[in-house]
């Protein structure tokens, strides 16, 4: 019976040693095999998240680039339209005709057109002209609106409004205008696409 107990105890010890061996082998496999696979998986997941952020940033930058390209194209078109409104010399006579037509369309009577001084810069020159006229207030407002929208680039540098005939609701207006002209041809930079 003693021998049988000894065999059972030895059997338990062998089973325990076998179980410890299996656990040790599993631990070694995990430590050397699965652990490195897990680390590689974590590293790949981190790299994937970095690439995803990079892609999102690139997408935003591409959209911003497209938006700015469109804004540049619009700005170039506006610049070209503006340059179309600036002749190559002062052309006061042409402007007087344009002014007379604008006044007639607005119901304003022009009384005076007097060229004043010219100033020539590197690219743009200006000629000042003084004009005076009469008409109902609403007509003068329409005249100023039409003057702003004419095909010739101009700026009001002095403005006086008075009453010419209160009984007939007629106002007087005196303006000093700056007329712009190109001194040297200006070409806006092209938009690279």
Tens digits of residue pLDDT in 7-22: 777 777 777 777 777 7
Most confident of 36-40, 62-66, 149-153: 62-66
Contacts of 179 (CB under 8 A, 6+ apart): 90, 91, 92, 95, 126, 127, 128, 129, 152, 153, 154
pTM for this model (two decimals) = 0.56
Longest CA–CA separation in the chain, Å: 143
Flag whether pLDDT at 185 surpasses 70.
no
Give yes or no for residue 143 having a pLDDT over 90.
yes
Residue 191 pLDDT greater than 70, yes or no: no
Q: What is the mean pLDDT of residues 127-152?
A: 92
Lowest-pLDDT choice from 13-27, 54-68, 115-129, 169-183: 13-27
- Residue 118 in contact with residue 90, Cβ under 8 Å? yes
């Amino acid at each position: 019976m003693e021998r049988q107990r000894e065999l059972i105890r030895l059997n338990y010890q062998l089973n325990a040693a076998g179980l410890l061996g299996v656990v040790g082998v599993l631990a070694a496999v995990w430590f050397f095999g699965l652990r490195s696979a897990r680390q590689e998986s974590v590293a790949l997941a981190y790299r994937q998240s970095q690439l995803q952020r990079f892609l999102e940033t690139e997408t935003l930058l591409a959209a911003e680039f497209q938006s700015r390209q469109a804004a540049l194209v619009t700005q170039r078109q506006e610049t070209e339209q503006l340059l179309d409104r600036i002749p190559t010399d002062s052309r006061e006579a042409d402007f007087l005709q344009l002014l007379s037509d604008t006044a007639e369309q607005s119901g304003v009577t022009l009384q005076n057109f007097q060229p004043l001084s010219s100033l020539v810069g590197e690219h743009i020159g200006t000629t000042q002209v003084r004009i005076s006229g009469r008409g109902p207030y609403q007509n003068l407002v329409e005249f100023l609106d039409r003057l702003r929208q004419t095909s010739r680039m101009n700026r009001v540098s002095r403005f006086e409004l008075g009453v010419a005939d209160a009984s007939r609701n007629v106002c007087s207006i005196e303006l000093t205008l700056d007329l712009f002209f190109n001194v040297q041809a200006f070409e806006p930079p092209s938009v690279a696409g």
